[in-house]
Homo-oligomer: A and B are copies of this chain.
Amino acid sequence: MSAKNAFYAQSGGVTAVINASACGVIETARAHPDQIGTVYAGANGILGALHETLIDTAEESAQTIAALRHTPAGAFGSARYKLKGLEENRAEYARLIEVFRAHDIGYFFYNGGGDSQDTAHKVSQLGESMGYPMTCIGIPKTVDNDLPITDTCPGFGSVAKYIAIATREAGLDVASMAQTSTKVFILETMGRHAGWIAAASALAKDTESDPPHVVLLPEVPLDQTAFLARVKDSVERFGYCVVVVSEGVRTAAGQFLSDQGTVDAFGHVQLGGVAPTVANMIKTALGYKYHYAIADYLQRAGRHIASATDVEQAYALGKAAVELALAGRNAIMPTIVRDSDSPYRWHVGETPLESVANVEAKMPADFIDESGFFVTEACLRYLRPLIAGEDYPPYRDGLPDYARIRGHRVARRLPAFGD
């Protein structure tokens, strides 16, 4: 019996280190040619399986695969595409199995967030019932850090580091100009439902007068009066105020502070522009001159300043996914298990896919201080090791030299799918 091939796909919003997980999967698979044939990557994630557009990673050099470790975003393409439930949409799941069978694929590695772990779980169930049992392993990924059970999610540590550095640097800028210019600076971060990313800005604060002075989290409905009082206090005491605001902050009535009214494929409302809303609030009530930054994709693609810890964990989880599959484990996701905060120690654990599918981990209540405008020492203790270490990419002509894949397509063996 020849070794089965593997399918690897990237899912959802990409990160600075999801390719490091891809690197871990492919390098580890290559080290076991007796057990795994070729790793096929889905072009544009799961769409690559549905449409049988498979990228033959065997055509990529060892150098290119190694360079994925320092390359941000999704080298094979990712997709915001959520498969519906098995009952509503059996055809799509059946198609996946059909494509996997046609290409002798026995391993399914799905690199994404909660939705993706759910999909991986369903594929494992359906393969069984269709007489084509597969080994399905999820690999966690999300800048939002909102997966349960795993201590953290690859992608988060790097965006946390990016935001903490941005807060420190822009804070120094504002501090040095505040007497005659900008008094309030607002940095808008990602984080729809969980405030982890905005919370990470607090790592930049060493002394009371340091930025950030206010952190607005989605977990805490905005009390506008208390917020404005805090901004005023900061300007009066320190000469300036740095506010870090999560895009998902809501009013007491539960409305997003800024809601563009468009919805993505997962049914999530597309957010943006909470910074100008907050700026306007401050300008109107207090009259301070303000500036704001919206980091948007810069924060999650910022591989140039990735956390070394994050890169290491992203790689380790990709590697573990393959090793667990080869050890006969199925329908699980490798996790990060924290052994100690300081010195930071961790190891790779595992959890059943169904335990993480569609569960959203918000910040624990004891990570947010009584005012609701800052995080606690417990939160900082949790966050600190996640941004530790720098893992600089190589540079060429002053710019990071990121991997470019050849992207060789595997010949189709099936008719086209769908309409």
Chain A residues packing against B (C-beta within 8 Å)? 10, 13-14, 44, 47, 71-81, 161, 164-166, 168-170, 172-177, 179-181, 185, 187, 203-204, 258-262, 264-266, 268, 270-273, 275-277, 279-280, 289, 291-298, 300-305, 307, 384, 387-390, 392, 395, 397-400, 402
Contact = CB atoms under 8 A, between A and B. Distances in A.
Contacts of A294: 275, 292-294
Contacts of A10: 176
A180 B271 contact: no
A78 B398 contact: no
Given A73-B172, A301-B173, A307 B47 contact: no
Contacts of A72: 169, 172-173
Given A279-B271, A297-B185, A301-B169, A176 B75 contact: yes
Q: What's the number of copies of this chain in the assembled complex?
A: 2
B204 A79 contact: no
B296 A164 contact: no
- The 10 A-B residue pairs with the shortest CB-CB distance in the complex, in nearest-first order: A74-B176, A387-B398, A73-B172, A293-B296, A169-B301, A261-B265, A173-B301, A170-B297, A271-B276, A73-B173
A75 B172 CA distance: 8
Contact of A14 (B177, B303, B384): B177
Contacts of A262: 265, 289
Contact of A399 (B177, B268, B387): B387
Contacts of A173: 14, 72-73, 297, 300-301
A291 B296 contact: yes
B305 A305 contact: yes
Contacts of A260: 264-265
A266 B295 CA distance: 23
B277 A169 contact: no
Contact of A176 (B47, B73, B303): B73
Given A77-B176, A77-B179, A78-B176, 17 more contacts: A13-B177, A13-B181, A14-B177, A47-B179, A72-B173, A169-B302, A169-B303, A172-B301, A258-B268, A273-B276, A275-B294, A294-B294, A304-B305, A387-B398, A388-B398, A389-B398, A390-B392
A303 B74 CA distance: 27
Contacts of A75: 176
Contacts of A14: 173, 176-177
